[in-house]
Amino acid sequence: MEPMEIALQEARDAAARGEVPVGAVVLGPDGAVLARAGNRVEATHDASAHAEILALREAAAARGSARLFDCDLVVTLEPCPMCAQAISFFRIRRLVFGAYDPKGGGVEHGARVFDASSCHHRPEVVGGIRETEAAALLKAFFADRRTS
**pLDDT tens for residues 42-101?**
999 999 999 999 999 999 999 999 999 999 999 999 999 999 999 999 999 999 999 999
pLDDT at 110: 95
**Contact at 8 Å (CB) between 110 and 104?**
yes
Predicted pLDDT at 73:
99
Choose the catalytic residue: 5, 19, 42, 52: 52
Residue 4 has pLDDT above 90, yes or no: yes
Q: Write the CB contacts of 39 (distance below 8 Å, at least 6 apart in sequence).
A: 14, 19, 20, 21, 22, 23, 49, 50, 51
Give the pLDDT of residue 145.
Answer: 80
Q: Quickly state the pLDDT bin for 28 (edges 50, 70, 90).
A: very high
Active site residue 124: no
pLDDT band for position 148 (cuts 50, 70, 90): low
For residue 104, the model assigns a pLDDT of: 96
**Nearest of 102, 95, 139 to residue 3 by alpha carbon:** 95
